[in-house]
Structure 1
Amino acid sequence: MKHRPLALLGAMLLSTGLVACSSSGGDSDQDAGGTTVLDVWLMRDSVSETFQKEFEAGFEEAHPDIDVKIQIQEWAGTGEKVTAALASNDAPDVIEVGNTQVAQYAQSGGLTDFSGKVAELGGDSWLKGLAEPGAWEGKQYGIPYYAANRVVIYRTDLFKKAGIDATKIKTREQWLAATEKLNNNGVQGIYLPGQNWYTLAGFIWDEGGDLATRQGDRWKGGLDSPEALRAMEFYKRLQALGKGPKDSDEARPLQTEVMAKGQVAQVIATPGGANVIAQNNPDLKGKLGFFPIPGKTPHTPSAVFTGGSDLVVPSVAAHQEEAYTFVKELTGDAWQKKLALAMSYVPNKTTLASAVASDPGAAAMAVGAANGHATPNTPQWAAVEAKNPIKDYMTAVLTGRDPKSEAANASQSIATTLNSGS
């Protein structure tokens, strides 16, 4: 799933445009020296130019019989591009896709099944929020690549002035108390817009519920479960401690711009938001910190939505063995550590969390990522997000309407959409 922002992100003419630029197939499969040319699509901003060059050089030194050709693709229209590629006879050998997109591509039968390679790739320690959506009907098609998730970005100076130690905020109740204390010190304790549904999803998972569950061959919306209703009640309490709008999300207005104005002590966002805040208000440079979203108990942080990417190999790709070698290297421990440090990402395995210990934002993400989740694993989820009854439900509750009846209506809408593709 594209996580910039963590929302899910064209014409089919691209099937003759981008797909035609693939170097696989025919006599172009090998260069004059007999090495295999491996065509790889990575998405914009998943790697820096410096990291890309370092990886290509290192990989080709270790595998001199493979010549890697990485093409950077744009996130806009990615679904159409990949669908066209999988349906072509000239698909690239490896493609980066959003973690929640894997199901729609696997459903068509267009991806290589890596179920037999999971143990070899270290699958026992993969982040659940990347691994689970990378599987479809019991088979593993997407190999976890990198992750990102939301944390609390906070003003260190305002916390200090209020006498609050952020490192000691471990539970929801402690978080509420600290936010109220900030309010009493003349600032807005938190800016939380009413339709930040990814944050609500984390609270629902934290309570033991889900956005939707599958029962046999049918889906059931989960917003009206007792667990989800408790999560919404907590969201309402937290949102009330700030002045965020009840009828819009974190992009309208951009919450980083709101915090940059100087009167907001906290927002919930990916750590990169701190850079945007400081760019908008240079006076805040060096005054922004991070901590994981607190959970119900001090021992476990809140569940979070895991955004990020998986690597897939088209079933029609010409170089299956070489493609697997590429995937194994890029998702292996050595390059994952380097990627995490270079890009401030969370590595794909829980065992690698210490690799980002020197990066405060990424370190806070890594703590939360250990309790990461993904949206319901079905190709139809994109259609749910297109209408997004979750946002309307949240606004309805925050403006005083009955939570149970509104949750039932939203759950029915989710179920109808998901089951329309059954």
Structure 2
Amino acid sequence: MRRSFVALVLVSASLAGACGVLPGGSGGRHTVTVWLMKDSASQDFLRRFTEDFERTHGDLRLDIRIQEWTGIGPKVQKALGAGSGECPDVIEVGNTQVAQYVEGGRLTNLTLESMRDWGMKDWLPGLAEPGLDNSAQYGIPWYAANRVVIYRKDLFEKAGIDSPPRTRAEWLADTEKLDSGGDQGIYLAGQDWYTLSGFIWDEGGDLAQQTDNIWKGTLDTPAALRGMDFYRRLQALGRGPAGADEEHPPQAGVFAAGKVAQIVAVPGLAQAIVQKNPSLKGKLGFFPVPGKTAARPGAVFTGGSDLVVPRDTDDRDAAVAVVAALTGAKWDTELARAMNYVPNKTTLASAVSGEEGVAAMAAGAAHGRATPSTPQWAAVEADNPIKQYMTKVLTGGDPATEARRASRRITQELSPNVK
């Protein structure tokens, strides 16, 4: 998961970090070095977790080192190649980054532990699936965040809408009612490809699929085209720019300026909106992105973090103990409550039911997905053909033709040797 997504839902922690294992340990304890990312956990959480872990594991000492998101990829790659005794024992990585670190056999296969002790059948799919490679589990889900619909309660009431929509059809109908009298029914930028991905997944499609170890773009399948068509109809009920994404301009500012009834964003963005426009305090609500039927919310892109254990850890058992504790029910729910995250299991969703925005996230995360699990996906995002495809369709291009072009470009990036 990229830092730009994470930063919207996290609060600050200020510890400094670096690579390496401290020599020795206090009282003869073995030191376990853990890399966690800046803003993933508060200082108070880390203090309480460390005290509890060291009390219940008398032979271990934790050395938690906080890393910056900027430049973390090359830093982790270097650490994984450093050899035994020179790399951390546990590393937090973005869920969509696991695939690039698995290459070369540099991570520990944690399948046996996850199957036996960690309740993997209840993990959020958007965290678990990216941590899986060829039936081996390398990334262990830690926490998640995803998009919901942030809406203006007062504008819904003004339009005569008593409760948030639960189906796509209701969502379109309600948004059409809201798109009147100078108000925008929804502000949806033309290149918000994360939101589009959810609509494609709901239709049974995907961005790319792997067959016989070859990845190919699949935006041109009937299912994916249906997802794009829904996006087109919804986006038309507002004035979002066809040629830009949700950060250009930042949609928090657009929403705060008024006259916008809905946006699709992580719930943490509500705080930024109210800071920009204090008159909106108490007027914002949240609901999961609606699905095709009322039986379940729509699929959403799930961001978040997994924990991995480098192959060259000098104490696998100690590293596994840290992962087990951090991702176990007690501390995972503590983290979710403290940081307004979604816990790593669907069975733990009740832990955040008291927070409207987080509860809406949890409902969507139960059906969440992530980008295709291949190290080459970063090359797709570097010059994203999905964004360009969306703009072409929204400005009158033929969807099938543009989808074929975009799919070919995705295939070229994922499988350069495929013609």
Given the two structures, how large is their TM-score scaled by the length of structure 1? 0.94
Deviation at 1:32, TM superposition (A): 4.4
Q: Do the aligned partners of 2:150 and 2:284 also contact (CA within 8 Å) in 1?
A: yes
Q: Deviation per CA, 1:110-156, whole angstroms, max 9, x where unpaired?
A: 10100111121111100111111001122110000100100000011
The 5 Å alignment of 1:172-183 reads: 172-183=168-179
Equivalent of 1:64, from 58, 62, 87? 58
State whether structure 2 residue 94 is matched by structure 1 residue 103.
no
Equivalent of 1:23, from 17, 21, 24? 21
Name the SS for the 1:373 alignment partner.
coil
Q: Do the aligned partners of 2:142 and 2:304 also contact (CA within 8 Å) in 1?
A: yes
Residue number in structure 2 paired with 1:4: 4
Residue number in structure 1 paired with 2:112: 116
Residue number in structure 2 paired with 1:14: none
Structure 2 residue identity aligned to 1:397: V
* Distance in structure 2 (CA, Å) of the matches to 1:146 and 1:207: 26
Equivalent of 1:253, from 233, 238, 249? 249
* Distance in structure 1 (CA, Å) of the matches to 2:255 and 2:417: 41
Deviation at 1:185, TM superposition (A): 4.5
Q: Do the aligned partners of 1:43 and 1:75 also contact (CA within 8 Å) in 2?
A: yes
State whether structure 2 residue 158 is matched by structure 1 residue 138.
no
The 5 Å alignment of 1:9-408 reads: 21-23=19-21, 28=23, 30-89=24-83, 90-119=86-115, 120-167=117-164, 169-408=165-404
Name the SS for the 1:247 alignment partner.
coil
Matched residues, percent identical?
58
* Distance in structure 2 (CA, Å) of the matches to 1:159 and 1:3: 32
Deviation at 1:6, TM superposition (A): 6.2
Q: Do the aligned partners of 1:3 and 1:308 also contact (CA within 8 Å) in 2?
A: no
Q: Do the aligned partners of 1:339 and 1:345 also contact (CA within 8 Å) in 2?
A: yes
Name the SS for the 2:130 alignment partner.
coil
* Distance in structure 2 (CA, Å) of the matches to 1:165 and 1:203: 25
* Distance in structure 2 (CA, Å) of the matches to 1:105 and 1:421: 22
Q: Deviation per CA, 1:219-255, whole angstroms, max 9, x where unpaired?
A: 1211000001111110000000000000000000000
Name the SS for the 1:146 alignment partner.
strand
Task: Quickly say closer, same or farther: Cα 1:63–1:386, change in 2 above 3 A.
Answer: same
* Distance in structure 2 (CA, Å) of the matches to 1:238 and 1:385: 24
- Deviation beyond 3 Å, 4+ runs, structure 1: none
Task: Quickly say closer, same or farther: Cα 1:3–1:284, change in 2 above 3 A.
Answer: same
* Distance in structure 2 (CA, Å) of the matches to 1:106 and 1:421: 22
* Distance in structure 1 (CA, Å) of the matches to 2:374 and 2:240: 32
Task: Quickly say closer, same or farther: Cα 1:72–1:6, change in 2 above 3 A.
Answer: closer
RMSD between superposed Cα atoms in Å: 1.5
Q: Deviation per CA, 1:354-382, whole angstroms, max 9, x where unpaired?
A: 11001111100000001001111100001
- The unaligned stretches of length 5 or more in structure 1 are 8-16
Name the SS for the 1:299 alignment partner.
coil
Q: Deviation per CA, 1:186-225, whole angstroms, max 9, x where unpaired?
A: 4111100000000000000000000001111211211000
Q: Do the aligned partners of 2:17 and 2:65 also contact (CA within 8 Å) in 1?
A: no
- The unaligned stretches of length 5 or more in structure 2 are 8-15
Name the SS for the 2:5 alignment partner.
coil
Residue number in structure 1 paired with 2:12: none
* Distance in structure 1 (CA, Å) of the matches to 2:28 and 2:68: 31
* Distance in structure 2 (CA, Å) of the matches to 1:157 and 1:332: 40
Q: Do the aligned partners of 2:26 and 2:61 also contact (CA within 8 Å) in 1?
A: no
Task: Quickly say closer, same or farther: Cα 1:191–1:6, change in 2 above 3 A.
Answer: farther
Q: Do the aligned partners of 2:37 and 2:69 also contact (CA within 8 Å) in 1?
A: yes
Given the two structures, how large is their TM-score scaled by the length of structure 2? 0.95
